[in-house]
Amino acid sequence: MNAERPDGNEGWQDEGAAGRRGSRHRPPVRVGLLVDGSEDYGVRVFMTFLARSLDRRAVHLAGLFLGPGPSRTDLVPLCDEVYDLGTGCLLPLTRLGRSRYSPFNALSKGATFAKAVWAATRAIRVGKLDVLHVNMYPMHLVAGLACRLAKTPCLWHWHGPYRPRGPLGLAARFGFRRLATRIACISHFVQRTLPADVQAKCRTVHNGVHAGHIAEHQKHGALRGRLAVAAGQPLVALFGSIAERKGHAYFLRAAATVVSRIPAARFAIVGGEHPHSRQRYGLERGLRQLARELGLSDAVRFCESIPEAPLYMGDCDVVCMPTIPMGDDTGEGFGLVMIEAMAAGVPVVATTCGAPPEVIEDGVSGRLVPPRDADALAAAILWLLEDEARRIALGRAAQQRVAACFTVERLCRAVEGLYEECRAARSGYRHRTATAW
């Protein structure tokens, strides 16, 4: 295990310096953020927002990294100290061309898991951490077991509906009961999917965005220029990674209906497909073929992910989030894209699949439609495109709602409260963990 400061200097963060940033009577909570290194998309964005926005008078943040990757690149400069655990990434659980449960894969990932537990335990002890925070499953299990060994509280942040089936589902259920000190759920919807016997340790902590920054720093015209969409043409977009549960096919079918009424309308799919998904399923290829079959070759634009995408959303007239349920994945855990677009002053049309009804007031700050219903999606888009005054009013209401309820500042204060709860629980934790197995 290699430990260093983010500026590259070897050694641990000075204990006195950390204390001076805290209050006069109470030092900052020493928090470890356990990171695989390879996390991407929503969880990566969340962890970056959090690390950048925590009150460093209240929190001293140590990053514990299994291996290299995009999340490590983003987070290292934001941590007060860095622990490179040296185990290599655990995620993804499968390699291209191999089954998750193949003997080779099971042995390889099992060895990485065991090394990660031991290395994280060491880092917790050396860093004298008050709590370990983890965001990506099954990294939760690594964190929970390490905290058991180190006799330290563990905060599980749960970002999607709990899926009870299979070995990983059973392991999560054990972890909820025995390994997590507190469980932060990103929506009431997510919390309701967790087992009834762990609800007492659950807290709903809605996601947040830098609402003011998004509103004030829009790159007007940049997205339209990239997509070759003229200033006067209606633009409807879907932002996010290409995955079946995101409802892209319904978006395209709705686009066909809208274009038949408003031929000048243009639709954009902004976001790429994960390499594993591209090789196994070829979803983007299928969507491009569907667009051709629907006669939308000129009306639909495909665009790879854009850095700082929320700053481009103001070019859109409507943003859609047509999530659909997929098996035991029963809905959208939260939908960060939704509040990013709302913060930009753009009305959102989302499905009632999961958390959107907690965020959008239907007909006031956006529109809600049933999942898997392209006709309802098209009708909601037309309802907005055909009335500019209505569209502007909903966009303003959406912006106000995010500024009032879904900011990073509110998120951070709630998470800091959970850190304090965990620190307060730590005094009796050593005795309880010795007898709780």
- Residue 86 in this model has a pLDDT that exceeds 80: yes
- Residue 117 in this model has a pLDDT that exceeds 90: yes
Burial-class residue 277 by CB neighbours within 10 Å (0-12, 13-18, 19+). Answer: middle
Query: What's the average model confidence in pLDDT over 258-263?
Result: 98
Span 165-199, pLDDT tens digits: 888 999 999 999 999 999 999 999 999 999 999 99
Relative to beta strand 81-84, strand 59-65 is parallel
CB atoms inside a 10 Å sphere around CB 250: 24
Q: What is the predicted pLDDT for the residue at 2?
A: 65
Q: What span, in angstroms and rounded, lies between the C-alpha atoms of 291 and 294?
A: 5
Span 7-50, pLDDT tens digits: 443 332 333 333 334 444 679 999 999 999 998 778 998 999 89
Do residues 391 and 347 make contact, with C-beta atoms less than 8 angstroms apart?
yes
Q: What is the predicted pLDDT for the residue at 165?
A: 87
Pick from 149, 129, 65, 91: nearest CA to 433: 149
- Phi-psi group of 86: left, alpha or beta (phi > 0 → left; psi -120 to 50 → alpha; rest → beta): left
Assign 97 a pLDDT band (cuts: 50, 70, 90).
Answer: low
The single-letter DSSP state of residue 14 is P
Cα dihedral 20, 60, 42, 165 in deg (nearest 10): -150
Assign 436 a pLDDT band (cuts: 50, 70, 90).
Answer: very low
Please state the length of the chain: 437
The single-letter DSSP state of residue 138 is T
Angle between helices 374-385 and 388-405 (to 10 degrees): 100
Q: What is the predicted pLDDT for the residue at 99?
A: 60
DSSP class per residue in 257-309: HHHHH-TT-EEEEE----HHHHHHT-HHHHHHHHHHHTT-TTTEEEE---TTG
- Higher per-residue confidence, 430 vs 378: 378
In CATH, what is the architecture of 2-208+408-435? 3-Layer(aba) Sandwich (3.40)
- Residue 375 in this model has a pLDDT that exceeds 50: yes
Measured over all CA atoms, what is the biggest interatomic distance in the chain, rounded to whole angstroms? 69
Kindly give, in sequence order, each residue whose CB lies less than 8 Å from that of residue 435, ignoring residues fewer than 6 positions away: none
> Quick one: which H or E segment has residue 383?
helix 374-385
Do residues 277 and 246 make contact, with C-beta atoms less than 8 angstroms apart?
no
Do residues 314 and 345 make contact, with C-beta atoms less than 8 angstroms apart?
yes
CATH 3.40.50.2000 residue ranges of the chain are: 2-208+408-435, 211-405
- Residue 428 in this model has a pLDDT that exceeds 70: no
Q: What span, in angstroms and rounded, lies between the C-alpha atoms of 217 and 116?
A: 40
- Residue 96 in this model has a pLDDT that exceeds 70: no
Span 293-346, pLDDT tens digits: 999 999 999 999 898 999 999 999 999 999 999 988 889 999 999 999 999 999
The C-alpha angle with vertex 177 and arms to 173 and 183, in degrees rounded to 5, equals: 90
Residue 155 bridge partners (DSSP): 133, 182
Query: What's the average model confidence in pLDDT over 152-162?
Result: 97
Tokens of 132: 């370990």
Does 3.30.1300.10 match the CATH number of domain 211-405?
no
Tell me the average pLDDT of the chain: 90
Assign 278 a pLDDT band (cuts: 50, 70, 90).
Answer: confident
Among residues of the chain, what percentage have pLDDT more than 70? 90
Assign 435 a pLDDT band (cuts: 50, 70, 90).
Answer: very low
Assign 100 a pLDDT band (cuts: 50, 70, 90).
Answer: low
